[in-house]
């Protein structure tokens, strides 16, 4: 499986998907939008050969969309690997009987999430047919902006069974997409703080591998100032803040689900937190993390994040958490 949404899964194709592709690619209702008013008229043997020739990467090839509850293959999508300008081209085609369920928007947002979090992609591009109003609406609901119009002309050798396609080019920008879909909330309910903390840190064993420490974090966040980040109605990250003195506060514990890394969610959370702390007269924000004396690659990324948002190392405590876990104390002036 490449990724999943609330209702759908996306995976690489196999021989069991030949029938779905045969139906999809030969559907005039589907394929007229890409210039084939009578469908592709492709055989099952040709489809089988295409599937057989696919390599291991998930980029720039057809991927199967599966409905979770029925386990039926219902269409295809594509993850375009970004070019030098950071632009990725995506595509979605679903069988007509599955239109009208919001599946297109669900897949589109997940394609954006995958590309924005895992590659250098800055812009997700799509080019729906000018007559395909449903696709245009879907692009716009995901934050797409019209950038230009164009026409795809088929070569002379294909004129007998194709129609040139009038296109509208849409761009979804990473920053704008995040603004539309990210919500940050201050959580006042103690049990909700416990639950969100537990959900996130237990999903990050590379950072939270000590059962005793995890239990302590989950219990103690109930009595901290707590901010959570949501994407598509789902809790994807949090920061827990404690204050030792009126002018200093500390990041007690925080975490972002790994599939939502590299989107700027941590920076957005900190921006909200720092604004609130400044209003209270707090002048310094501190954090303790694993120091560079430990070779852990995950925490190397964590330290890099803190440095990027303005924290500086102040002191290393080699035995605060035990000799095997050297502690780095960092501080940021607000």
Domains of the chain: 3-179 (3.40.630.30), 188-333 (3.40.630.30)
DSSP code for 6: S
Mean pLDDT value across residues 89-96: 98
Q: Is the pLDDT of residue 147 over 90?
A: yes
Res 46: pLDDT: 96
Residue 31 contacts residue 39 (beta carbons within 8 Å):
yes
Query: Can you tell me the distance from the alpha carbon of 226 to that of 187, in angstroms, rounded to the nearest whole number?
Result: 5
What mean pLDDT is predicted for residues 294-306? 89
Give the pLDDT confidence of 5-46 residue by residue, as tens digits.
Answer: 999 999 999 999 999 999 999 999 999 999 999 999 999 999
Helix (H, G, I), strand (E, B) or coil at 256: strand
The CA distance from 310 to 332, in Å, is 6
Q: What is the mean pLDDT of residues 312-316?
A: 93
CA–CA gap between residue 10 and residue 93 (Å, rounded): 13
Cα–Cα distance, 81 to 94 (Å, whole number):
21
User: Which pLDDT value is given to residue 263?
Assistant: 95
The interaxial angle of helices 174-181 and 103-118, nearest 10 deg, is 120
- Cα distance between residue 278 and residue 213, in whole Å: 30
Sequence-distant (6+) residues with CB within 8 A of 5 are 106, 107, 109, 110
**Residues 236-251: tens digit of each pLDDT:** 999 999 998 999 999 9
183: number of Cβ within 10 Å: 12
With a pLDDT cut of 90, the percent of the chain lying above it is 91
How high is the mean pLDDT of the chain? Answer: 95
The predicted pLDDT at position 325 comes to 86
pTM score > 0.85 for this model? Answer: yes
Asked if residue 144 has pLDDT above 90, the reply is yes
Q: How confident is the model at residue 129 (pLDDT cuts 50, 70, 90)?
A: very high
pLDDT band at 297 (very low <50, low <70, confident <90, very high): confident
Q: Do 47 and 22 meet the contact criterion of CB atoms below 8 Å apart? A: yes
């Amino acid at each position: 499986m490449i990724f999943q949404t609330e209702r759908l899964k996306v995976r690489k194709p196999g021989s069991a998907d030949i029938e779905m592709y045969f139906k999809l690619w030969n559907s005039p209702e589907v394929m007229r939008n890409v210039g084939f008013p009578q469908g592709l008229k492709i055989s099952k043997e040709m489809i089988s050969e295409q599937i057989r020739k696919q390599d291991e990467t998930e980029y720039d090839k057809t991927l199967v969309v599966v409905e979770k509850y029925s386990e039926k293959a219902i269409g295809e999508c594509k993850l375009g690997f970004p070019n030098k300008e950071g632009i990725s081209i995506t595509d979605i085609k679903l069988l007509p009987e599955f239109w009208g369920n919001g599946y297109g928007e669900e897949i589109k947002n997940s394609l954006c999430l995958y590309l924005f979090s895992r590659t250098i992609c800055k812009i997700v591009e799509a080019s729906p047919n000018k007559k395909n109003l449903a696709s245009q609406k879907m692009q716009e609901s995901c934050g797409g902006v019209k950038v230009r119009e164009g026409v795809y002309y088929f070569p002379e050798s294909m004129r007998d069974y194709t129609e040139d396609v009038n296109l509208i080019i849409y761009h979804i920008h990473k920053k704008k997409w995040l603004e539309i879909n990210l919500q940050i909330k201050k959580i006042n309910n103690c049990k909700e703080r416990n639950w969100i903390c537990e959900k996130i840190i237990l999903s990050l064993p590379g950072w939270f591998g000590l059962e005793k420490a995890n239990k302590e974090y989950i219990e103690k966040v109930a009595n901290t100032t707590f901010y959570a980040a949501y994407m598509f109605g789902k809790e994807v990250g949090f920061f827990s803040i404690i204050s030792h003195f009126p002018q200093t506060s500390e990041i007690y514990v925080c975490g972002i689900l790994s599939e939502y890394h590299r989107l700027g969610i941590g920076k957005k959370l900190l921006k909200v937190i720092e604004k609130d702390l400044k209003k209270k007269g707090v002048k310094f924000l501190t954090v303790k993390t694993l120091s560079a004396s430990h070779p852990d690659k995950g925490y190397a990324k964590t330290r890099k994040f803190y440095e990027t948002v303005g924290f500086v190392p102040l002191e290393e405590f080699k035995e605060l958490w035990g000799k095997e876990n050297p502690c780095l104390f960092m501080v940021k002036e607000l």
